[in-house]
Amino acid sequence: MKKLAASLLLLGGFPWLFAQVVPSPGLLNRRYQEGETMVYRMKNINNGRRSEIQATGVVKRDSRGQYLEEYAWSNRTLDGAPFNLPPKSMQFRQILSLDPGMPSPIPNLSEVHPTLIGPITDFLTFYADLWLATRSGKLKAAGDHLYHEHATPASWADGNRVVLGETSIDFDITLTGVDQAGKIATLLVKHVPPKRPEVRLPAAWMNEAVADTPNNWVQVSKSDGKYTAMVGKETFDVQLKVSLVDGKILSGTLENQVKTRVRDCLDAALMSCGDPRPREILRQVDISLVP
């Protein structure tokens, strides 16, 4: 699985970040129309490897009358070559929402092909960041800033190849621009290590800091009865262009860096391991709304 970013899932605890806050209309609020359709094109550069994919969505309402966006994934390419998703992944539908009263649900990643996990979780990150900024109700003018402490781990473990995958981050959000003439707002969301990350570190050697903060990222994958264990520091910045007309995401960029220490291990307890080696993960993800 190529998905290594915490983009993933601000999600472990994300849906209830503002569970006690009453939504109120604001500058960035999404103005939904049932039946509306959207098409996003996503491009990804992962340590030099390039991929593209398309998300096609439609606005619906659930049984409670709250709005949601239902997306299907298609037209996957890897390094310019078409990649045929299996039927189960083609039938998968991702539910997202910018309705202040309805956080996007956590998808079941075990249902999709590993190559689709990255796009699903990255797309969720863009929506979750905007949902958080909108829900706060505090971002109204250029320069307005919000810092939200949220150390609760988010997981991207699929239960198959990735047996443990967690990140722990805080949100540092700034409304960097408001273009009333062009009807576009610009957001910068920095995902930064908390003072006390809460990721699970199953082996003592994982506690030693890889960079200049306590480790806030961990991944353990299994293949042929052996384990690859990685631990380190993750940060990523998300920039969003948001329509002031209807609150849609017009475009977004996610820049992700993970500095890790890697060890190959023979046991699930990660005690019988080879020598550590450094590894840096660099990713950039871009989405754009197709006119």
What pTM did the predictor assign? 0.85
Residue 10: per-residue pLDDT: 44
- Examine residue 1 and state whether it is found in any structural domain, yes or no: no
Which ranges constitute the DSSP H helices of the chain? 87-91, 114-136
Residue 25: per-residue pLDDT: 58
- Examine residue 121 and state whether it is found in any structural domain, yes or no: yes
Residue 111: per-residue pLDDT: 86
Could you tell me which residues come within 8 angstroms of residue 240 by beta carbon, excluding any fewer than 6 positions away?
126, 129, 130, 186, 187, 189, 249, 251, 252
How many CB atoms are located within 10 Å of the residue 86 CB? 12
How far is 7 from 235, CA to CA, in rounded Å? 9
- Examine residue 56 and state whether it is found in any structural domain, yes or no: yes
| Averaged pLDDT, groups of 10, the chain, 291 residues long | 40 40 69 97 95 98 94 96 95 95 87 91 95 91 93 82 93 97 98 95 97 97 96 97 97 97 97 97 97 91
CATH number at 190 reads 2.30.230
Tokens of 269: 């307890």
Residue 208: per-residue pLDDT: 97
Residue 98: per-residue pLDDT: 95
- Examine residue 254 and state whether it is found in any structural domain, yes or no: yes
Residue 158: per-residue pLDDT: 80
| Torsion angle in degrees (nearest 10) through CA of 5, 52, 61, 12 | -10
- Examine residue 78 and state whether it is found in any structural domain, yes or no: yes
Total of domains in the chain:
1
Range of the domain at 49: 6-289
Residue 82: per-residue pLDDT: 96
- Examine residue 44 and state whether it is found in any structural domain, yes or no: yes
